A and B are shown apart, each in its own frame.
Chain A
Amino acid sequence: SAVISQKPSRDICQRGTSLTIQCQVDSQVTMMFWYRQQPGQSLTLIATANQGSEATYESGFVIDKFPISRPNLTFSTLTVSNMSPEDSSIYLCSVVGNGGLYNEQFFGPGTRLTVL
Chain B
Amino acid sequence: SQQGEEDPQALSIQEGENATMNCSYKTSINNLQWYRQNSGRGLVHLILIRSNEREKHSGRLRVTLDTSKKSSSLLITASRAADTASYFCATVRRNGQNFVFGPGTRLSVLP
Q: Which residues of B are found within 8 Å of A105, using beta-carbon distances?
A: 33, 43, 45, 90, 99
A109 at the A/B interface (Cβ < 8 Å)?
yes
Q: Which residues of A are found within 8 Å of B45, using beta-carbon distances?
A: 104-106
B109 at the A/B interface (Cβ < 8 Å)?
no
Please tell me which stretch of B62-70, B72-80, B100-108 contacts chain A, meaning at least 4 of its Cβ atoms lie within 8 angstroms of it. Answer: B100-108
Q: A42: which of B42, B44, B96, B104 is its contact (CB, 8 Å)?
A: B104
A41 at the A/B interface (Cβ < 8 Å)?
yes
B48 at the A/B interface (Cβ < 8 Å)?
yes
Q: Let me know if B96 and A102 touch, CB within 8 A.
A: yes
Count how many chain A residues have C-beta atoms less than 8 Å from C-beta atoms of the other chain.
23
Q: Let me know if B43 and A107 touch, CB within 8 A.
A: yes
A33 at the A/B interface (Cβ < 8 Å)?
yes
A-B contact count (CB 8 A): 52
B40 at the A/B interface (Cβ < 8 Å)?
yes
Count how many chain B residues have C-beta atoms less than 8 Å from C-beta atoms of the other chain.
24
B interface, over-half SS? strand
B68 CB to closest chain A CB (Å) equals: 22
B102 closest partner in A (C-beta): A42
B92 at the A/B interface (Cβ < 8 Å)?
yes
Q: Let me know if A102 and B30 touch, CB within 8 A.
A: yes
A41 closest partner in B (C-beta): B103
Q: Which residues of B are found within 8 Å of A43, using beta-carbon distances?
A: 43, 88, 101
Interface members, chain B 39-64 (any A CB < 8 Å): 40-45, 48
A24 CB to closest chain B CB (Å) equals: 13
8 extra A-B contacts, CB within 8 A, seeds A42-B101, A43-B88:
A4-B42, A41-B103, A92-B42, A102-B30, A104-B33, A104-B45, A105-B33, A105-B90
Please name the 3 residue pairs, one residue from A and one from B, whose CB atoms are nearest each other, closest first.
Answer: A107-B42, A104-B45, A109-B42
